[in-house]
Amino acid sequence: MSPGIDPADAAAVAAQLGRAPRAVRDVAHRCPCGMPSVVQTAPRLEDGTPFPTLYYLTCSRLSSRIGTLEAEGRMKEMQARLAEDPELAAAYQRAHEAYLAERDAIESLGTDVSAGGMPDRVKCLHVHVAHALAAGPDVNPFGDEALAEIGDWWAAGPCATPRTPSPPGAG
């Protein structure tokens, strides 16, 4: 965990993931309910291992809905469109370049590998949705598309409630 991340956010992210997150730098997006939905991670893990995934989706409800889209074959459909639509391919290339520029501004890994299969494949919608939420609309076309299809995932309220540690000597 980054020393700059608020302890309440760190607890919320851990509750969402069901584990302690790795190499978190900051909350990159919040659901309208106020909970973190995406974190920005460091380009390297604490032990120095390269970690090219700059944005990591934490909202368990949103993650589940994205998993459903993946199971329904949405990535295969997107991949096919990527091969047929030069404008979409150009937008996806720009998303890849934006992702690399953001990560390299923190620390260059000396590679042009970004995440989610960019710029040639559609490999992980979770990455694309996290990027779309963190960067805003019109940056990652497949992230925007998946978000539009899912709709208001937050409408039912927060996806997790962080546990408050018991005081010393309790229970």
Domain boundaries, the chain: 7-150
User: Over the Cα atoms of the chain, what is R_g?
Assistant: 17
Q: If 0-12 CB within 10 Å is exposed, 13-18 middle and 19+ buried, where does residue 118 land?
A: buried
Q: Is the pLDDT of residue 169 over 60?
A: no
pLDDT at 160: 78
- Cα 148 from Cα 167, distance rounded (Å): 43
Name the percent of the chain lying above pLDDT 70.
91
Residue 125 has pLDDT above 80, yes or no: yes
> What pLDDT, on a 0 to 100 scale, did the predictor assign at position 9?
93
As a whole number of angstroms, the distance between CA 131 and CA 146 comes to: 12
Q: What is the mean pLDDT of the chain?
A: 90
Residue 102 has what pLDDT?
Answer: 96
Q: Judge whether 13 and 39 are in contact, CB under 8 Å.
A: yes
CA neighbor of 57 nearest in space, from 130, 145, 117, 150 = 130
pLDDT at 52: 86
**pTM assigned to the model:** 0.90
Which regions of the chain does DSSP assign to beta strands (E)? 24-30, 36-41, 55-57
